[in-house]
Amino acid sequence: MTSSDPTSGRPKLQLSDDEWRRRLNPQEFDVLRRAGTEPPFIGRYTDTKTEGVYQCRACGAELFRSTEKFESHCGWPSFFDPSSTDAVILRPDHSLGQLRTEVLCANCHSHLGHVFAGEGYPTPTDLRYCINSISLQLVPTAE
């Protein structure tokens, strides 16, 4: 599975900003590479019920599965757990003058969103991975 290099903390996939700009459109670059946030309730996957695997839009690594997606009504897709323990990296984020936990793709270190705990959602983990739709690519399950 995808993870960062444990000896260096560097992503497996490393590209220059120019290379990322060639791969991503300007909105994707802003969110994935500059930790931007898409506006709430407009994302492609906010309300989708399609079964499948959610991959990182930047590198294609598997991040989440539809079986862990739930309706939080927060304006962004919400998941209660990543597809595997090494699919994402969590790190402290003090960017808004408060402590939050940022979620990054373990393979390329692209920004995905934030994770929140203890909000009382009826999920097995009591976690809400609040993820930007623009950071994801859904690969539907074959029927």
| Separation of alpha carbons 87 and 132, rounded Å | 16
Local structure of residue 23 (DSSP, 8 states): H
Ranges assigned E (strand) in 14-85: 52-56, 62-65, 69-70, 78-79
**DSSP reduced 3-state for 28:** helix
Q: Give whole-number Cα distances, 111 to 28, 120, 132, in Å.
A: 10, 25, 9
| 105 catalytically annotated | no
**CA angle centred on 77, ends 121 and 64, rounded to 5°:** 90
Catalytic residue chosen out of the listed positions 59, 105, 108, 130:
130
Using the CB atoms, write b or e for 104-134: b if 16+ within 10 Å.
bbbbbbbbbbbbbeeeebebeeebbbbbbbb
Active site residues: 130
